[in-house]
Amino acid sequence: MKADWIISHAFVLTMEGKGVGMIENGAIAVKGDTILAVGPTEEIGKAYQAERMIDGTGKLVMPGLIDAHMHTGLAIFRGMAQDMSHWMQKGLWPLMQNTKKHEALAGSLMAIIEGVKAGTTTFCDYDHSMNEIVEHYVKVGVRARVAETVNELPDDMGLVPVGELYPLDPAIGQRKLSANMQLYEKWHGQANGRITCLFGPQGPDMMRTELMLEVKALAEKYDTRIHMHVAQGDREIDQMLKRYGKRSIPFLEEIGYLDSRLMAVHLTEATKEEAQLVAKRGASMIFCAGSIGIIDGLVPPILDFLEAGGQAALGSDQAPGNNCHNMFNEMKFAAILNKVKRSDPTVFPAWLSLRLATIESAKAIGLEKEIGSLRAGKKADMIILTMQDPGLAPIYTNPVRNIVPNLVYAARGHEVETVIVDGRFIMENRQLMTVDEKEALKKAQEAAEEISRRSQRDIAASNSDIYHMMSEGYL
């Protein structure tokens, strides 16, 4: 049978079955956007022919990584909001209020490039200006599952004193919801189905119950999912208690939000029982190890959630405060932070991190029929890594394999040589084929310089830890 291309003689991590589905001398045949077959090199060689034959000797092929929660529109502020208290109010806010849309967009493209170069092929982006950001995804050629951020907060929210109830404005909510619907109407299913759209309420504390319910009804009408922060911080819980006399998760349970349409992000402040309830109701959990570790110094209850049978995924969140969009980083942090949380080296093994960035993540975001593992009939979204790197050497295969532990604990993303989405090669030899990386970095730099100029006074006025560090020579 005729394929467009075949890669063979590679280590193939299919991520099929309950483990990692390794085929040591494996091959994959692809036609168009679809995987025709995955199996031992010999078997595939007999059944398929192709003009393009790729020698996978010394390479590892695996599903493209999924980043299940990102705000790429914040990436332009990378490195400006960590090691501090009040990262949002004192780190981000002085910058955000001085940023123009095209500048945030320049940062978004830079972040997408960063992700691709570290092997991410599916991006769950959740941000303002998603109607514009989505065009980056189309251009770069990756898969994206996107939502506009919906809330009822006024633009000058940064001025609301900490502890006071947020002012909620229904008109703002309607405007933002309508941008989210526009996104759905225009983009859902576009680019050969690579772009899919979700609803993006920012959190239960940032809108009235009425809007929450309207979003829920729309998600049902369009048969799509809801990407939402849940119990993301003590400020959220404080708002919920003040507004409703209830914590976030009991509130969401009461209004019927906890079901398989919900992708609940963070759960930082969820109790064990609350995490278990979210799991039991079939909502998924997105765990952002690096971001929450750095901005809050906390480890969300992902293990409690998984132990209750929940479906979870990993995400990189935002560049300011993480400070990167690199799923190898997230896999490492997810594993080690949970080991120290439980004081037990056996919890959160490497294979679990890897599954939560591939097949389990696909299930958690509702794309498991298309991506997350390498299997005939699924989309040809995959990455090829060199194993000829001192950090991944030597390779043992017998009687135990060391490939997955080294991938999670030693690899860092630069080992990814080739990125393929929908059967199309979007990176080869670490060169992006679809966008000009240098030009993108140049534009991001220009944007940062403009933002820097405009936000000087507000940063100085923020009196933040990072501002003090600068004046004391620590930056």
Question: Taking contact as CB under 8 A, which single stretch among the options 157-165, 211-219, 360-368, 465-473 is the one that binds a second copy?
Answer: 465-473
Local structure of residue 258 (DSSP, 8 states)? -
Taking CB under 8 A as the rule, which mask of x and - marks residues 339-358 in contact with a second copy?
xxxxxxxxxxxxx-------
E-strand stretches of 56-205: 59-63, 65-70, 120-127, 143-148, 195-197
Could you tell me which residues are beta bridge partners of residue 5?
Answer: 30, 52
- b vs e for 125-135, b when ≥16 Cβ sit within 10 Å of the residue's Cβ? bbbbbbebbbe
| The one among 49, 57, 397, 431 contacting a second copy by CB under 8 A | 397
Largest CA distance in the chain: 69
Q: Is 402 within 8 Å of 393 (Cβ atoms)?
A: no
Cis before 170 (ω within 30): no
Phi, psi of 313 (to 5 degrees): -145, 165
Phi, psi of 269 (to 5 degrees): -95, 10
Computed over its alpha carbons, how large is the radius of gyration of the chain? 22
| The one among 410, 425, 435, 454 contacting a second copy by CB under 8 A | 410
Residues 6+ apart with CB under 8 A from 125: 70, 71, 72, 108, 133, 137, 144, 145, 146, 147
In the complex, minimum distance from the CB of residue 322 to a second copy, in angstroms, rounded to a whole number: 7
Binding to a second copy, residues 207-236 (CB under 8 A): none
Residue 215 or residue 459: which is nearer to a second copy going by CB?
Answer: 459
Residue 213 or residue 393: which is nearer to a second copy going by CB?
Answer: 393
Q: Is 343 within 8 Å of 316 (Cβ atoms)?
A: no
Q: Is 68 within 8 Å of 365 (Cβ atoms)?
A: yes
- Residues contacting a second copy: total by CB under 8 A: 98
**Residue 336 in the binding site for a second copy (CB under 8 A):** yes
DSSP labels for 340-362? HHHT-TTSS-HHHHHHHTTHHHH
Structure token digits, residue 39: 């199996």
Residue 209 or residue 452: which is nearer to a second copy going by CB?
Answer: 452
Residue 250 or residue 349: which is nearer to a second copy going by CB?
Answer: 349
In the complex, minimum distance from the CB of residue 65 to a second copy, in angstroms, rounded to a whole number: 15
In the complex, minimum distance from the CB of residue 224 to a second copy, in angstroms, rounded to a whole number: 30
Binding to a second copy, residues 2-21 (CB under 8 A): 17-21
In the complex, minimum distance from the CB of residue 472 to a second copy, in angstroms, rounded to a whole number: 6
| The one among 275, 333, 365, 382 contacting a second copy by CB under 8 A | 333
- 13 burial via Cβ count (<10 Å: 0-12, 13-18, 19+): buried
| The one among 57, 210, 412, 431 contacting a second copy by CB under 8 A | 412
In this structure, the chain runs to a length of 475
**Residue 475 in the binding site for a second copy (CB under 8 A):** yes
Binding to a second copy, residues 101-160 (CB under 8 A): 107, 110-111, 113-114, 117
**Residue 437 in the binding site for a second copy (CB under 8 A):** yes
In the complex, minimum distance from the CB of residue 63 to a second copy, in angstroms, rounded to a whole number: 16
Nearest to 309 by CA among 339, 264, 276: 276
Taking CB under 8 A as the rule, which mask of x and - marks residues 44-83 in contact with a second copy?
--------------------------------x-xxx-xx
Amino acid at 99: T
In the complex, minimum distance from the CB of residue 116 to a second copy, in angstroms, rounded to a whole number: 9
In the complex, minimum distance from the CB of residue 120 to a second copy, in angstroms, rounded to a whole number: 12
In the complex, minimum distance from the CB of residue 449 to a second copy, in angstroms, rounded to a whole number: 8
| The one among 282, 414, 417, 425 contacting a second copy by CB under 8 A | 414
Could you tell me which residues are beta bridge partners of residue 146?
Answer: 197
Compute the Cα dihedral for 214, 217, 222, 227 and give only its sign. positive
Question: Taking contact as CB under 8 A, which single stretch among the options 41-49, 151-159, 247-255, 385-393 is the one that binds a second copy?
Answer: 385-393
Residue 246 or residue 401: which is nearer to a second copy going by CB?
Answer: 401
Taking CB under 8 A as the rule, which mask of x and - marks residues 260-299 in contact with a second copy?
------------------------------x--xxxxxxx
| The one among 213, 217, 376, 469 contacting a second copy by CB under 8 A | 469
